[in-house]
Chain A
Amino acid sequence: MKQSTALDLRVYAGLIAFGILGPILFPDYVQTIAVMWLMVLMAVTWDITGGQMGYNSLGNVCFFGIGMYASAIVQISQFTDVAAYTAAFGAIRVEFTDAQYFTGLFLGLIAGGIAAAVFALLIGPAMLGLRGPYFAIGTLGLAVAVGELVAGWGYVGGGGGISMPVYPGDAGAGAWMFYVLLAVLALGTHLVVRWLYSTQFGLAINAIRDDEDKADAMGIHANRYKTMAWAFAAFFMGIGGAIFGNMSGFIEPLEVAFPTATFGIFMVAMALLGGKGTLWGPVLGAILFHIVKEVTWTYLLGWQWVALGAIIIINIVYFQQGILGWAQDRWPAAFGLTVDRGGAARPAAGEAAE
């Protein structure tokens, strides 16, 4: 246990060092590295329910979009009427003072997180009653439905989208600020999640993953824990969405806020690539996936999506336990696991819940 804490500290130190040095050494890639932190955040939050609890959601991206739209509404509604603002399609330019912008942003981020978490708490009891593939399909449907509903909602501009408030001052400084926000959020989320897994809560959701009915029979309030875990994931995803919305400057329902077929599936693929159900797997997977994605974007222009689809299929079909999952099976002692060679071994993280 103590050894793993030391190791974790070293990894955190490495990540922080990269987070600071990376954009300084490669100033052209500030945006790219910021998106990498977002990917880390997505993979880590997906893994709360997907890896640790065995509820494979395909629709967690809806929290991302809800957070984004909640922050947009909060930030804009403080100073002008949202309906008039969106109806004008950017013709109304609101000049924010610095103080106004930053209080708006702060409130917007909090509102994004809370709105997403509240949404998860509301739908959680119903959706989380579904099991296995039905849950996956149901959440996929949910994400598509929320995206379509927002696209038809005139108040927030419908399919036309909203332009977010513009960062007052130098655009380069704005990019840096959003970079720092995303990096801090991703690392902070990982710290919170790490703490979460070390508590009784972590044990409870692991028990639900291994056998929900037994866990229920042993007195774990499965429904309560499931909803709570989902709301945790939703809260951080919501804040991430709010930051990303402000970073991109313009939000639109189908491509930016509720990209079910891109970010929605990427987060699953990233967590699987690194090894779902492990603490560092999603982080590793997200960083690797992001690098692969950027490389294919650069060198395979036009074919990048095809390459990504192929990578996802290969990852899932041939290498499902992921990198850390594989390492964990190979050298269990290094992860502090004891394997009972005689009896039933601990099931690999990827095969739980069925």
Chain B
Amino acid sequence: MIDNLYLLTQAPILGVDLIIQGLFIGAVFALIAYGLALVWGVMNVKNLAQGDMVILGGYITYQATLWGYHPIVALPAAIVLMFMLGWIIYVLIIRRVVDRDMFTSLLATFGLSLLIQQVLNLIYGPEVKVAESGFGDFEVGSFIIIQNVRLYSLLLAAALALAIVIFMKKSRMGQAIRATAQDARAARVLGIDTDQVYAFTYALNASICGAAGVLVAMIWVIQPYYGIVYSIRAFIIVTAAGLGNLPGVILTGFGLGVWENVAGFVFGAEFAVAAVVIMLVAVLMYRLVQLYRVRQVVR
């Protein structure tokens, strides 16, 4: 660890490289977290299956490459398929936990995440898979090598986020979603079919996850059990940034990506996951401290 820190001070360009790579990762994290914030904010469902939906999207891409297509072709397919799947999951499971206490939704989605993991494990086996994109890479300066696929992912993630934001602002459904998030009862009184809105929101989240999964499968590797870490990352970002705070989610996503990359380098790769999860505990603790401060003021 000390060696790695020393190396970092000796070659600052390495640090720049780590940060840039971290920013690219962070864009995908922010996309996943935005989906979670949507579901959390609109329907108050904490979706622990978030990461597994991402991995599911990744496997859709992988399947496409097995059939001989380029992985990027799978992007629209993943969006549509995951949208349908999200709708089905809503009708079967989520509809029944929306009004219940939050632990119920947490546990139900945890069960869902187990289910997705195991089905994927049965179909594709526990080996690590990758959807090779073959985009090549380019060099910035003399030391920093950026894979083109990461750059395209960043652009795609940005385009998707922009599309969602415009959709939420302009379309009737987007307006209905925002109205439901503000006050579900009032929305119902005004004639909005909130059940429909919830179903659409959950399905939209699923397709966001699917799209993110396509990017994940092209940039890194996928494996049936990798989902939980993405769920935890999404939770970290949403908890730290707060609900309905899109700029915050994007910034925190970038921050987490950088932290993860730098921590993985400094502490060693075997502690990369631990660094993420400890960050979760740290963020929750920070939130707690803030809460205590509020309680002090109230007293």
| A contact residues vs B (CB 8 Å cutoff) | 56, 58, 126, 129-130, 132-134, 136-138, 140-142, 144-145, 148-149, 151-152, 158-159, 260-261, 265, 268-269, 272, 302-303, 305-306, 308-310, 312-313, 316-318, 320, 351, 353-354
Q: How far is the CB of B98 from chain A (nearest CB, A)?
A: 11
Sample (23) of A-B pairs whose CB atoms are under 8 Å apart: A56-B107, A130-B288, A136-B107, A137-B235, A138-B284, A141-B232, A141-B235, A141-B278, A142-B281, A144-B228, A144-B273, A145-B278, A145-B280, A269-B111, A302-B122, A306-B115, A306-B119, A306-B122, A309-B118, A313-B93, A313-B112, A316-B97, A316-B108
A261 and B117 form a contact (CB under 8 A) = yes
- Please report the C-alpha to C-alpha distance between residue A305 and residue B292 in the assembled complex, in whole angstroms: 41
B96 and A317 form a contact (CB under 8 A) = yes
Q: How far is the CB of B125 from chain A (nearest CB, A)?
A: 12
Give the nearest-CB partner of B107 in chain A. A316
9 new A-B contacts at CB < 8 Å, known A272-B107, A303-B122? A58-B110, A130-B288, A132-B101, A133-B46, A136-B106, A142-B281, A260-B228, A309-B111, A312-B111
In chain B between 48 and 90, which residues have their CB closer than 8 angstroms to a CB of chain A? 48
Most chain-A CB neighbours within 10 Å: which of B48, B104, B235, B292?
B104
- Please report the C-alpha to C-alpha distance between residue A148 and residue B103 in the assembled complex, in whole angstroms: 25
Q: Does B183 contact A (CB under 8 A)?
A: no
- Indicate which residue in B101, B117, B225, B271 contacts A152 across the interface (CB closer than 8 Å): B271
B121 and A305 form a contact (CB under 8 A) = yes
B96 and A126 form a contact (CB under 8 A) = no
| B contact residues vs A (CB 8 Å cutoff) | 46, 48, 93, 96-97, 100-104, 106-108, 110-112, 114-115, 117-119, 121-122, 225, 228, 232, 235, 239, 268, 270-271, 273-274, 277-278, 280-281, 284-285, 287-288, 291-292
B112 and A354 form a contact (CB under 8 A) = no
Give the nearest-CB partner of A315 in chain B. B111
Q: How far is the CB of B40 from chain A (nearest CB, A)?
A: 10
A313 and B115 form a contact (CB under 8 A) = yes
A-B complex: 5 closest residue pairs judged by Cβ atoms: A309-B115, A305-B118, A148-B274, A354-B101, A312-B111
The secondary-structure label for the interface of chain B is: helix
Residues of B within 8 A of A149 (CB): 271, 274
Q: How far is the CB of A139 from chain B (nearest CB, A)?
A: 9
Most chain-A CB neighbours within 10 Å: which of B48, B110, B118, B271?
B110
- Please report the C-alpha to C-alpha distance between residue A323 and residue B274 in the assembled complex, in whole angstroms: 38
Give the nearest-CB partner of B118 in chain A. A305
- Please report the C-alpha to C-alpha distance between residue A234 and residue B277 in the assembled complex, in whole angstroms: 21
- Please report the C-alpha to C-alpha distance between residue A261 and residue B118 in the assembled complex, in whole angstroms: 11
The secondary-structure label for the interface of chain A is: helix
- Please report the C-alpha to C-alpha distance between residue A62 and residue B100 in the assembled complex, in whole angstroms: 28
- Please report the C-alpha to C-alpha distance between residue A14 and residue B48 in the assembled complex, in whole angstroms: 39
B280 and A137 form a contact (CB under 8 A) = yes
B281 and A317 form a contact (CB under 8 A) = no
- Please report the C-alpha to C-alpha distance between residue A130 and residue B228 in the assembled complex, in whole angstroms: 21
- Please report the C-alpha to C-alpha distance between residue A318 and residue B104 in the assembled complex, in whole angstroms: 11
B114 and A261 form a contact (CB under 8 A) = yes
Q: How far is the CB of A326 from chain B (nearest CB, A)?
A: 16
Most chain-A CB neighbours within 10 Å: which of B48, B93, B111, B280?
B111
Given contacts A138-B281, A141-B281, contact A313 B122 (CB under 8 A): no
Residues of B within 8 A of A302 (CB): 122
- Please report the C-alpha to C-alpha distance between residue A261 and residue B292 in the assembled complex, in whole angstroms: 32
Residues of A within 8 A of B225 (CB): 261
Give the nearest-CB partner of B274 in chain A. A148
Give the nearest-CB partner of B97 in chain A. A317
- Indicate which residue in A158, A261, A303, A306 contacts B228 across the interface (CB closer than 8 Å): A261
- Indicate which residue in A136, A145, A261 contacts B103 across the interface (CB closer than 8 Å): A136
- Please report the C-alpha to C-alpha distance between residue A56 and residue B108 in the assembled complex, in whole angstroms: 13
Residues of B within 8 A of A265 (CB): 110-111, 114
A318 and B96 form a contact (CB under 8 A) = yes
Give the nearest-CB partner of A128 in chain B. B288
- Indicate which residue in B102, B108, B117 contacts A133 across the interface (CB closer than 8 Å): B102
- Indicate which residue in B96, B97, B117, B273 contacts A148 across the interface (CB closer than 8 Å): B273
- Please report the C-alpha to C-alpha distance between residue A136 and residue B280 in the assembled complex, in whole angstroms: 12
Most chain-A CB neighbours within 10 Å: which of B101, B107, B122, B239?
B107
